[in-house]
Structure 1
Amino acid sequence: MKQAILKVHPDDNVLVALTDLKKGEEIKQNGHSITLLDDVKVKHKFAAKPIAKGEKVMMYGVLVGIAQIDFEAGNVLSTANIKHAANGFSTGERKTEWVKPDVNKWKTTTFNGFHRSNGEVGTANYWLVIPMVFCENRNLKVLEEALIAPLGYGQKKAYQEQTLQLVDLYKKGHSVNDLLQAPLYTETVEKKQNRLFPNVDGIKFLVHDGGCGGIRQDAETLCGLLAGYITHPNVAGATILSLGCQNAQVSILQSEIAKRDPSFDKPVYILEQQAVGTEADLLSLAIKNTFAGLVQANSTIRRPAPLSKITIGLECGGSDGFSGISANPAIGYTSDLLVALGGSVILAEFPELCGVEQNLSDRCLHTSDAERFSALMHTYEQRATEAGSGFDMNPSPGNIKDGLITDAMKSAGAAKKGGTSPVVDVLDYPEKVTRAGLNLLCTPGNDVESTTAEVGSGANIVLFTTGLGTPTGNPIAPVVKIASNTTLFNRMNDIIDLNTGTIIAGDETIEQAGSRILDYVIEVASGNIEVCAVKHQQDDFIPWKRGVSL
């Protein structure tokens, strides 16, 4: 019989409903009976015992809220009767001992990647076209139209056929109701197999709205992010379009590239419109240079590489009440496996680490990193408060609807993505990962901003958990989408790659799921599996301007 409830941690005073529960239903827990005083929807929480008004509400073994009423055992938790609260934290003592998982299965395993001259290895091979300022975005669109289809990177989508069918019905005089009753189309993506450059996975156009206006620090940060993409192991080279007068000057970009890779030797073509002259000349030069770069990029082929060359970005979006007990701890175990194999992982989304700071701070190998983490967290929250917001406003309506009713509750589950290994470095956006192991990267909780940042810092694969469903992808790094529940996976398997609802059903342990995910990552890294986000060309790219973004 499927388990109806779950107590996540021995110190918790709330229980999680694993299925819809009805008022008056009797629940057995550790030999005790609880009669439900409210209906409890699947993924939501209810009091395991009386909790007095003003007392702490505990989940995952940490403080996640303060009771606003006198709870009886069996009362459901909601935004009306519990208020966000989180434990404070200090630098504290180092607690860096951890039990490494058994990785004998993967000791000699390799993946087939693209080797770069600086020793890094890519899981893909892309050419970038980058604007230094939003003024060049139109030129990027023209270049995209000029290059993509002729070089074999285009796609044909069935939705055009649906539009043509509706046009035909309309011309024949059918009513609005007839049009609405026309059959739905299922999207089919037909990739051209006649790529001129078979070893180049694609040409990606990093359209953005920055580079000028705002403050100079925004431009400098943007240059750092773009440098992270240009020097990224998944990138073979780049064509860069500059207007000439913008804040984000090419010289700043070149300096940021040198910081990340002092021996940088990838082909990069820089074109300044105000120096070249006419738009036609600029675009003609860009096409010729890009074509020449693709010829060079095509000479690189996949070769075996150790798993230590994989850097995984850890992300969650559209989280639900199961994320913290299935998908997140599963990729946390995957993280521990990769760290034990000498690889790197990135845990980001600082607003979603609220309440678990002490644990992460204590896990920092160096006191200086613990102090930097503390400073970044306090500064971030202070800026949010000054803007009239705060970390307590992080949960989205979708999060709340599916059981994540306080930021601390959401954060405690989100932090499970980081596994249990020590923290080897604390980075501020958009710094690059340079140490093997678990890295903390300051980013917002916004899915695309954070994913964009993780890849800019070196992630060559991203593991993205979701309980509600999201199509989020990235232009140059495969984003593996992982469902926290089977219902979501079955409903949206066109954009979701893996399912960890098996953990909720009791069919698989967290360790088994985490091991399965690592095997999948190796296949993706080798180019043997094309994830849904890549298949649909979900090329989300949003630079963070360092303003308040939760």
Structure 2
Amino acid sequence: MENKILKIHPEDNVIVALQDLKQGEVITLDNENYTLLDPVKAMHKFIAEDVAIGEGIKMYGVFVGVAKEYLPKGRQLNTSNIQYPANDYTIDKGKTDWQRPNVENWQAASFWGYHRNDGTVGVANYWLVIPMVFCENRNVDLMKEALLENLGYRTQKKYNQFTKNLVDLYSTGKDLVDIVNADFEDASLHAKDRIFPNIDGVKFLTHQGGCGGIRQDSEALCGLLAGYITHPNVAGVTVLSLGCQNAQVSILEKEIHKRSPAFDKPMFILEQQKIGKESDLLTEAIKQTFAGLAEVNKQQRKEASIKKLCIGLASGGSDGFSGISANPAIGYTADLLVALGGKVILSEFPELCGVERGVSDRCLREENAARFTELMKKYSASAVNAGSTFDMNPSQDKIKEGLISDVITSAGAAQKGGTSPIVDVLDYPEKVTRPGLNLLCTPGNDVESTTAEVGSGATMVLFTTGLGRSTGNPIAPVIKLSTNTALFNKMNEIIDIDTGTIISGEETIEEVGSRILNFILEVASGRQPVKAVVNGQDDFIPWKRGISL
């Protein structure tokens, strides 16, 4: 019989509804009966025992709030009867005992990737075109127009053809109602074969930074761009500079050397104020890029150990099932990869608000726990100074889906990080260097955090969503996972994996997490395309160190 409710952790006094429940309904779980005093929608929660005013409420085995009023057993929890008191948190000696998962099935696992001279291995092979400042975005766009279709990288013009069909109907004098109701066959047009078959694409990282603002913004931008240039998935780069911007090429070169002292990828830097005419700049940039592509096209995939993978963990459009299905599933995948010697990145610091103590306790070194605490407090203080707070992070859509407080959201979001010890704590846009679970300070904004994770070295990203989110990244495959089957069936054009089988009881968290790891190996070897890549979803948003939750 399908379960209607779920108690996530033995210490919890909160029960999660897995489907819509009626007021007065009596439900049994683990030989205990619960009579519902209110209707409870799927993904929302009710209290499992009588709780007095001010008494604690636990979910995921962690403290998520106190009762603002007397809560009798069976009462639905909502924003009006639960609150999280603002308590300071301190550093404790790390609790790093870890129950390693069984990785016997993957001890000899490998993938086929692109080996770089610095010892890293990419799961893809891209050429980058990067502007140092937003003033060069137009020139980058002109290069994009000149290169993509002619090199065979523009794979579809489905909606261009769709619009042409509408224009043709309008030109023949068809009635507007007939035009709107017209049904056309799939008119996707596929580009010619790639001129350089071993290059997965040419990617253009336009942005709005590089000048204006504060110098720290330009330095952070140069660090992020250096992270992309030195990234294992990148074969070479063309850099366009105006010349007078804050983000100077010298800063970029310093950041590149910091990440890769023996950097040897082809990199062409062209400065418009030195060259002069736009036509001269663009013809030279296109010629050099073409020559670079011809050279790196000689690279081919070779076998590599699974420990060469670096996986980013992210989420967007979360719902009340996120912390029950998709997040713990990729958390188990993360534990498997850590046990096998790989690297994992957990970011989105605003979504760790309220669970800081549990996170810092997992740090292997006290200095890492101290740095995490410092970064969280500094970030939180900057939000307060701007008239906001971390607890403003849950959107109204999330609240409707059962995430009634920032702490419940955070407790569920933290499930993405699995249970392994934390080996390092990094500030944006630092590079990940240690095998194991790494924390990276980023906003909760999904595109900014995903952009940052890839800049720090993630060769692909696991991205969970409960409401539907179509994000991707220019150079790293973003594998999207739905928290529920209904969403997967509705939006499977943009979602790769359904973890709703955990909610239905068809699979366990461990079974889904193992399935995800097998999927990762197929993607890393170039055998399994992900929806974000197929759809050309190339989101890239650098984080300015202002307030972005």
Structure 1 residue 69: deviation in Å? 2.9
- How much does 1:39 deviate? 1.5
- Measured in 1, the distance between the counterparts of 2:225 and 2:353 equals 29
What's the secondary structure of 1:38's corresponding residue? coil
- Structure 2: which 5+ runs fail to align? none
Percent identical: 63
Q: Distance between the aligned counterparts of 2:115 and 2:447, measured in 1? A: 27
1:69 alignment counterpart:
69
Q: Distance in 2 between matches of 1:173 and 1:50?
A: 70
Q: What is the rounded CA distance, in whole Å, between the counterparts of 1:494 and 1:331 in structure 2?
A: 21
Looking at structure 2, the residues matched to 515 and 442 of structure 1 have their Cα atoms a distance apart, in angstroms, of 28
One-letter identity of the residue aligned with 1:487: A
CA apart distance, 1:313: 0.3
Q: Which residue of 2 aligns with 1:249?
A: 248
Which range is displaced more, 32-41 or 345-354?
A: 32-41
Aligned partners of 1:35 and 1:183: how far apart in 2? 51
- AA partner of residue 249 (structure 1): Q
Partners of 1:531 and 1:466 in 2: CA distance: 15
Q: 1:13 maps to which residue?
A: 13
User: Once the two structures are superposed, what CA deviation does each residue of 1:55-107 show, in whole Å capped at 9, x if it has no partner?
Assistant: 32221121222323322222222223323446643110121121111111111
1:26 and 2:21 matched: no
Q: Does 1:36 align with 2:9?
A: no
The match for 1:366 is: 365
* Deviations, residues 178-208 of structure 1 (Å, cap 9, x unaligned): 333333776x755435101000000000010
Please state how far the C-alpha of 1:400 moved relative to its aligned partner.
1.2
Matches of 1:305 and 1:190 in 2, distance apart?
A: 35
Q: Residue 445 of structure 1 corresponds to which residue in structure 2?
A: 444
User: What's the CA shift for 1:26?
Assistant: 1.2
| Distance in 2 separating the partners of 1:245 and 1:98 | 52
Greater shift in the superposed pair: 66-75 or 410-419: 66-75
Partner residue, 2:516? 517
Offset, 1:46: 1.3
Q: Which segment is superposed worse, 52-61 or 203-212?
A: 52-61
| SS at structure 1 position matched to 2:162 | helix
Aligned residue in 2 for 1:123? 123
Letter in 2 for 1:532: K
**1:494 counterpart residue number:** 493
Matches within 5 A, 1:167-182: 167-182=167-182
| Cα shift readout 1:373-428 (whole Å, capped 9, x = no counterpart) | 11001111111111111110111222111111111101101111111111110000
TM-score (norm 1): 0.97
Q: Is the 8 A contact 1:159 1:185 kept in 2?
A: no
- Which one-letter code corresponds to 1:60 in the other structure? Y
Match of 2:259 in 1: 260
Residue 339 of structure 1 deviates from its aligned partner by 0.7
Amino acid at match of 1:213: G
Deviations 1:184-243 (A, max 9, x none): 776x75543510100000000001000000000000000000000000000001000000
Equivalent AA in structure 2 for residue 426 of structure 1: V
Runs (5+) with no aligned partner, structure 1: none
Q: Distance in 2 between matches of 1:18 and 1:310?
A: 35
Which aligned pairs between 1:107-146 and structure 2 lie closer than 5 A? 107-146=107-146
Q: What whole-Å deviation, never above 9, does each CA across 1:441-491 have from its counterpart, x for those lacking one?
A: 000000000000000000001000111111110000000001111011111
Report the secondary structure of 1:117's partner residue. Answer: coil
CA–CA separation in structure 1 for the residues paired with 2:184 and 2:532? 22
CA–CA distance in structure 2, aligned partners of residues 272 and 448 of structure 1: 29
Question: What's the TM-score once normalised by structure 2's chain length?
Answer: 0.97
2:239 counterpart of 1:240: yes
1:98-497 mapped onto 2 (5 Å cutoff): 98-183=98-183, 191-192=190-191, 194-497=193-496
2:162 and 2:78 mapped to 1: Cα distance?
A: 44
SS of the aligned residue for 1:264 comes to coil
Q: What's the Cα RMSD here? A: 1.4
- The aligned length equals 549
Matched position secondary structure for 1:221: helix
Question: Following the alignment from structure 1 to structure 2, what is the Cα–Cα distance between the partners of residues 285 and 341?
Answer: 46
| 1:3-33 deviation per Cα after TM superposition (whole angstroms, max 9, x unaligned) | 0000111222211000011112112233332
Asked whether the equivalents of residues 62 and 355 of structure 1 are also in contact (C-alpha less than 8 Å), the reply is no
Q: Distance in 2 between matches of 1:75 and 1:278?
A: 71
Distance 1:451 1:546 in 2: 16
Work out the CA distance in 1 between the residues paired with 2:92 and 2:33: 40
Paired letter, 1:323: S
Letter in 1 for 2:324: I
- Cα 1:163/1:110, change in 2 over 3 Å: same
